[in-house]
């Protein structure tokens, strides 16, 4: 059927459409090239009123041209990016979510940041198993089919790598909100409450911790306290309405809402119930917070209240004086966002922004505020307050307690400097 459709389509193709389709496909190949740079596809006056554009005077392509749809080729600049000097290779590495170009609070699955410790495994779902054992009455092995028979739950929650912004502890360093804050995403996650599975296996008395372990080559492992497991932790198989993306742990992952992304073990294969934590490499050598006195905080799970302005940003400069809609994202691992305030003078005066999205606990919340820009330089900041009353700290407050070597959990108020030419610089203030 697809084949005959294609042939039929060929007969119908006008020379104009064939040319356009050729341009579209060649754009797909060049990927990141900006639309405006390609001859013949730029917004030329031929397409503007009173002229009627070519696409209005011809037939478009048929259904199933893309059996699984992709973003417009004109959006090909919206993609994950990495910073190669951060890691020795791309197999144990990270890529960043393009926050400046995203709308609302849901991160499209294809641009959710990646974090691998031993590369992206290809797992056959029919041969994937989740084993739950240890201090349980009934050690069990579940197939994906088994897991999808349990009552399912869907929640919208953010996911943030605890190292998000970690390159900025000593000073402004990254050129763009994708790199200063892009180890961050928010998706609808669907799966089974971990508490449901734990009651299925039966937890023995004295069981206080669970080791979660991945099926990738790193066998990523983290110790999770029982109270989180019984509260809102979930075993997740779907994301934004479809099965998990491979990059997000297909076919199964753990989600600990509001907690550091590293605990949300991907490609989950095993949960072992025990009475004490395991102190494994990814919760001691890594993902621990070194303090100025030489002590290190272990099991620092919660991603505290944070926010950032995504537009303007280095990626979204202003072009001329005038009225602008300033917007950004706020989130807290402790619950809902209560207020977001915006300052244009480096924190002397603040105005409350308004929420432009639904406000959910432990989810990204979008805020916005209107601003009249007269061309003078600004020091633009956002400051979030969560429902516990916690106010996002300044860099000075953070560094006073934690110094500059703790790598993780940097949630300081961020500053964009708006220059008179409208360009935006990442700066830090005294």
Nearest Cα residue to 235 out of 311, 170, 140: 140
Identify which of residues 95 and 109 has a Cβ nearer to another protein in the complex: 95
Check: CB of residue 277 under 8 Å from CB of residue 228: no
Out of 17, 193, 211, 326, point to the residue binding another protein (CB under 8 A). Answer: 211
Identify which of residues 60 and 151 has a Cβ nearer to another protein in the complex: 151
Handedness of CA 235, 238, 240, 246 (dihedral sign): positive
Give the shortest CB-45-to-another protein separation in angstroms. 21
- Alpha carbon of 136 to those of 17, 196, 209, 400: distances in Å? 64, 14, 12, 44
Identify which of residues 358 and 401 has a Cβ nearer to another protein in the complex: 401
Burial class (CB in 10 A: 0-12, 13-18, 19+), 100: buried
Identify which of residues 60 and 88 has a Cβ nearer to another protein in the complex: 88
Kindly determine how many residues on this chain lie close enough to bind another protein according to the rule CB under 8 A.
Answer: 123
d(C-alpha 98, C-alpha 71), whole Å? 14
Identify which of residues 54 and 289 has a Cβ nearer to another protein in the complex: 289
Q: What dihedral do alpha carbons 277, 88, 186, 222 form, nearest 10°?
A: -10
Asked if 379 interacts with another protein (CB under 8 A), we say yes
d(C-alpha 404, C-alpha 290), whole Å? 9
Check: CB of residue 114 under 8 Å from CB of residue 129: no
Q: Which of residues 230-249 bind another protein (CB under 8 A)?
A: none
d(C-alpha 330, C-alpha 408), whole Å? 18
Strand partners, 156: 188
Q: Which of residues 270-299 bind another protein (CB under 8 A)?
A: 270, 272, 274, 276, 278-281, 284-285, 288-290, 292-299
Nearest Cα residue to 351 out of 324, 381, 323: 381
Identify which of residues 107 and 343 has a Cβ nearer to another protein in the complex: 343
Check: CB of residue 319 under 8 Å from CB of residue 333: no
Q: Which of residues 316-375 bind another protein (CB under 8 A)?
A: 317, 319, 339, 341, 345-352
Query: Which range touches another protein (CB under 8 A), out of 19-27, 77-85, 247-255, 324-332?
Result: 77-85
Give the shortest CB-347-to-another protein separation in angstroms. 5
Q: What dihedral do alpha carbons 204, 206, 208, 210 form, nearest 10°?
A: -40
CA 7 centroid distance within chain: 41
Give the shortest CB-20-to-another protein separation in angstroms. 22
Q: Which of residues 401-430 bind another protein (CB under 8 A)?
A: 401-402, 405, 409, 417, 421, 423-430
- Alpha carbon of 373 to those of 320, 352, 417: distances in Å? 8, 17, 13
**Count of beta carbons in the 10 Å neighbourhood of residue 68:** 6
Identify which of residues 158 and 169 has a Cβ nearer to another protein in the complex: 169
Identify which of residues 314 and 368 has a Cβ nearer to another protein in the complex: 314
Nearest Cα residue to 232 out of 362, 344, 427, 111: 362
Q: Which of residues 110-169 bind another protein (CB under 8 A)?
A: 117-119, 121-122, 131-133, 138-143, 146-147, 149-151, 167, 169
**Count of beta carbons in the 10 Å neighbourhood of residue 51:** 11
Give the shortest CB-46-to-another protein separation in angstroms. 24
Q: Which of residues 169-198 bind another protein (CB under 8 A)?
A: 169-176, 178-179
Q: Which of residues 384-403 bind another protein (CB under 8 A)?
A: 385, 390-394, 397-398, 401-402
Query: Which range touches another protein (CB under 8 A), out of 49-57, 216-224, 235-243, 322-330?
Result: 216-224
Give the shortest CB-410-to-another protein separation in angstroms. 11
Give the shortest CB-331-to-another protein separation in angstroms. 16
Give the shortest CB-425-to-another protein separation in angstroms. 5
Token pair for residue 409? Answer: 């959990």
Give the shortest CB-26-to-another protein separation in angstroms. 13
Identify which of residues 364 and 385 has a Cβ nearer to another protein in the complex: 385
Side-chain-facing half-sphere of 329: CA atoms under 13 Å = 28
Identify which of residues 9 and 422 has a Cβ nearer to another protein in the complex: 422
Out of 45, 89, 126, 127, point to the residue binding another protein (CB under 8 A). Answer: 89
DSSP-based three-state secondary structure for 381: strand
Out of 19, 21, 81, 245, point to the residue binding another protein (CB under 8 A). Answer: 81
Q: Which of residues 34-53 bind another protein (CB under 8 A)?
A: 34
Check: CB of residue 328 under 8 Å from CB of residue 307: yes
């Amino acid at each position: 059927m697809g084949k005959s459709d294609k042939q039929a389509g060929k007969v119908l193709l006008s020379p104009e459409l064939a040319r356009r389709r050729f341009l579209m496909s060649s754009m797909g190949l060049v990927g990141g090239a900006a639309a405006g740079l390609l001859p013949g596809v730029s917004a030329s006056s031929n397409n503007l009123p009173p002229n009627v554009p070519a696409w209005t005077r011809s037939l478009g392509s048929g259904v199933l041209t893309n059996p699984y749809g992709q973003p417009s080729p004109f959006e090909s600049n919206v993609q994950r990016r990495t910073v190669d000097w951060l890691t020795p290779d791309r197999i144990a590495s990270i890529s960043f979510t393009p926050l400046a170009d995203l709308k609302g609070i849901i991160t499209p699955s294809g641009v959710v940041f990646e974090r691998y410790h031993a590369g992206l495994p290809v797992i056959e779902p029919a041969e994937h198993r989740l084993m739950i054992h240890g201090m349980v009455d009934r050690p069990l092995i579940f197939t994906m089919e088994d897991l999808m028979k349990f009552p399912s739950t869907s929640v919208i929650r953010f996911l943030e790598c605890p190292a998000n912004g970690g390159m900025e502890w000593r000073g402004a360093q990254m050129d763009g909100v994708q790199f200063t804050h892009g180890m961050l995403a928010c998706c609808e996650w669907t799966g089974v409450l971990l508490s449901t599975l734990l009651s299925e296996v039966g937890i023995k008395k004295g069981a206080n911790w669970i080791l979660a372990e991945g099926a990738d080559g790193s066998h990523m492992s983290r110790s999770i306290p029982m109270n989180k497991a019984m509260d809102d932790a979930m075993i997740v198989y779907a994301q934004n309405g479809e099965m998990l993306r491979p990059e997000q742990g297909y076919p199964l992952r753990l989600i600990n809402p509001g907690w550091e992304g590293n605990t949300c073990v991907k490609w989950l294969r095993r949960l072992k119930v025990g009475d004490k934590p395991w102190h494994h490499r990814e919760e001691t050598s890594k993902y621990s917070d070194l303090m100025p006195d030489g002590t290190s905080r272990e099991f620092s799970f919660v991603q505290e209240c944070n926010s950032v302005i995504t537009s303007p940003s280095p990626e979204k400069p202003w072009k001329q004086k005038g009225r602008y809609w300033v917007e950004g994202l706020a989130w807290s691992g402790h619950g809902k966002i209560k207020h977001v305030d915006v300052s244009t003078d480096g924190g002397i005066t603040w105005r409350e922004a308004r929420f432009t999205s639904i406000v959910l606990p432990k989810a990204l919340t979008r805020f916005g505020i209107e601003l009249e820009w007269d061309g003078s330089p600004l020091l633009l900041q956002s400051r979030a307050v969560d429902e516990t009353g916690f106010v996002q700290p300044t860099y000075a407050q953070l560094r006073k307690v934690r110094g500059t070597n703790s790598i993780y959990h940097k949630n300081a108020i961020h500053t964009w400097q708006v220059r008179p030419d409208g360009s935006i610089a990442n700066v830090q203030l005294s």
